[in-house]
Amino acid sequence: MAIDVRADVTPNPNAMKFTANKVLFEGSGSASFKQGDEPELPLAKELLALEGVDNIFGFQDFVTVNKLPEADWDTLLPKVHETFEKIYG
């Protein structure tokens, strides 16, 4: 089954929530990573490698991506979706 990801705006204009049709973060806890971290989780590693991403927060079937203020969602959104396809496609 291919991954299906829905992007939702948040009250923070620098953050978007991405909800998937499968578990992205195993376990009962949440995970948070920022630039400079070296996460073992492939999704976290790939998202942090995207130019313009500042940090991410994930829990079960969603991840919130926080961008740098100067980054543009129009440029970043397709790259985030490509990352999901690369990892889970």
Report mean pLDDT in 10-residue bins for the chain, 89 residues: 90 97 87 93 96 97 97 96 92
- All domains of the chain in start order, with CATH: 5-88 (3.30.1370.70)
What is the identity of the amino acid at 53? V
| pLDDT value of position 29 | 81
Q: Are 75 and 52 in contact (CB under 8 A)?
A: yes
Helical residues (DSSP H) of 1-89, grouped into ranges: 42-49, 73-88
* CA pair distance 13, 69, nearest whole angstrom: 9
Q: What is the structure's pLDDT at 1?
A: 60
